[in-house]
């Protein structure tokens, strides 16, 4: 069973929505995991605050799961933000685990709120021909220092490892907000294979970043269980977010 997988941080719900839509249409993936997704329903809101609606109107994925993380207090009002999975395979089950802070509100334009912004691990069970896939999607604990081994990051890693333990056909993906070389992320590699390993220099779109430190920070990652074979993988250099997307073709071995 082969399938295509895409991971992308939308950047404030889709700051560059036209590019996002064009990219996802070209990739035509079976499973898409997204972070910084807005689920606004007011039709007067700009498109980026209606991410779920805009994506569904364009692509008509038969199965969508949205995991609310935080209510952002914005100039346009209060809008729920979170992680989302779009799938051509039936979603048989889903659950959400918060890493540290519980679901709540924040001032989205106040940097002081970033370190205490609620973050969660979204889990969906997908029914594929011949079995199931456990897909985990996350946006990690924020810390400007990608190397910092904080207690919150340790807890994040422990939550992920506990969630995947004993499960088959596992994919963990997302914007971890920690460098891939951080010990808390390396700990996950004791249980899963890293699709990109150490081959990337950055997973940020430097056309949208001022801090040069982002040029050597890989924070967007995909990990898979050892029976999932990576046939192809890529990190396209496209200007559709402040992060770069990750794409892969996978096959589940017997």
CA–CA distance from 97 to each of 34, 42, 158, 222 (Å)? 17, 28, 12, 19
Matching CATH number, 2-252, of 3.40.50.80, 3.40.630.30, 3.60.10.10, 3.90.580.10: 3.60.10.10
**Under 8 Å CB-to-CB from 3, ≥6 apart: which residues?**
30, 31, 89, 128, 249, 250, 251
Q: What is the arithmetic mean of pLDDT over 189-212?
A: 97
Query: Looking at the predicted structure, is the pLDDT value of residue 1 above 90?
Result: no
Say yes or no to pLDDT of 110 above 80.
Answer: yes
> What CA–CA distances, in Å, run from 241 to 58, 77, 88, 229, 235?
18, 23, 24, 28, 13
Strand partners, 104: 70
What distance in Å separates the CA atoms of residue 244 and residue 192, rounded to the nearest whole number? 22
Lookup result for tokens 């996350």: 138
Q: Domain segments of the chain: what residues?
A: 2-252
Residues facing residue 135 across a β-bridge: 124, 171
**What pLDDT was estimated at residue 24?**
98
- DSSP class of 169: S
What does DSSP assign to residue 192? Answer: S
**pTM reported for the whole predicted model:** 0.98
pLDDT at 254 over 90: no
Question: Encoding tokens for residue 71?
Answer: 């209510």
220-228: average pLDDT: 97
Ranges of beta strands (E only) in 52-169 are 63-74, 77-87, 90-98, 104-107, 120-128, 131-139
Q: How confident is the model at residue 140 (pLDDT cuts 50, 70, 90)?
A: very high
Whether residue 130 is predicted with pLDDT greater than 90 in this model: the reply is: no
- Give pLDDT tens digits for 41-88: 999 999 999 999 999 999 999 999 999 999 999 999 999 999 999 999
Mean pLDDT along residues 134-151: 97
Query: Is pLDDT of 204 > 80?
Result: yes
**Percent of the chain residues past pLDDT 70, beyond the cut:** 100
Phi, psi (degrees; rounded to nearest 5) at 23: -65, -50
């Amino acid at each position: 069973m082969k399938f295509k997988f895409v991971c992308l941080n939308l950047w404030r719900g889709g700051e560059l929505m036209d590019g996002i839509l064009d990219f996802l249409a070209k990739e035509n993936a079976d499973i898409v995991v997204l972070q910084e997704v807005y689920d606004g329903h007011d039709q007067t809101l700009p498109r980026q605050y209606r991410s779920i609606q805009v994506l569904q109107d364009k692509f008509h994925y038969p199965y969508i799961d949205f995991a609310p993380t935080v209510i952002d207090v914005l100039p346009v009002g209060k809008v729920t933000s979170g992680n989302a999975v779009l799938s051509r395979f039936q979603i048989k089950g889903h659950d959400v685990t918060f890493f540290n802070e519980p679901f709540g509100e924040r001032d989205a334009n106040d940097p002081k709120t970033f370190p205490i912004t609620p973050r969660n691990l979204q889990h969906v069970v997908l029914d594929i021909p011949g079995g199931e896939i456990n897909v985990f999607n996350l946006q990690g604990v924020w810390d400007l220092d990608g190397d910092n081994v904080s207690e919150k990051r340790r807890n994040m890693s422990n939550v992920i490892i506990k969630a995947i333990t004993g499960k088959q056909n596992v994919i963990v993906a997302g914007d971890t907000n920690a460098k891939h070389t951080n010990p808390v992320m390396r700990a996950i590699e004791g249980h899963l294979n890293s699709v990109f390993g150490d081959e990337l220099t950055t997973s940020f779109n430097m056309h949208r970043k001022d801090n040069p430190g982002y040029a050597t920070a890989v924070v967007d990652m995909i990990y898979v269980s050892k029976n999932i074979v990576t046939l192809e993988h890529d990190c396209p250099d496209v200007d559709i977010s402040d992060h770069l997307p990750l794409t892969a073709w996978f096959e589940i071995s017997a």
